[in-house]
């Protein structure tokens, strides 16, 4: 009974530590290379331009899937209308 409680606590602690590590890895490591520093306006412009660039990448149109059996665009192998003999 005690070992179950101890193991449950250890699992909880390990999961919390793992979540902290995930969040730390997800933070940005970008550095601003300016010796004289930035004004507030320049910093805002950099932030806005980086946000717009990331939005542009996320909204880029994707190409349709290509079937690996018949090589046609628009569907995947598991939905292929043409039978494939092996």
For 17-63, the pLDDT digits (tens) are: 999 999 888 887 777 676 777 788 888 888 888 877 776 666 667 78
Q: Which of the 8 DSSP states describes residue 78?
A: G
- The residue whose two tokens read 């890895």 is 25
* 12: confidence class by pLDDT, cuts 50, 70, 90: very high
* 71 pLDDT above the threshold of 80: yes
- Partnered with residue 66 across adjacent β-strands are 73
Is the pTM above the cut of 0.85?
no
Contacts of 7 (CB under 8 A, 6+ apart): none
At 60 the pLDDT is 60
Domain locations along the chain: 37-86
């Amino acid at each position: 009974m005690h070992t179950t409680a101890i193991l449950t606590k250890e699992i909880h602690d390990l999961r919390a530590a793992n979540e902290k590590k995930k969040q730390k890895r997800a933070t940005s490591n970008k550095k601003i290379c300016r010796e004289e520093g930035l004004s507030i306006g320049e910093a805002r412009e950099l932030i806005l331009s980086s946000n717009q660039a990331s939005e542009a990448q996320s909204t880029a149109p994707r190409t349709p899937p290509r079937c690996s059996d018949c090589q046609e665009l628009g569907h995947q192998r598991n939905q292929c209308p043409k039978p494939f003999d092996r």
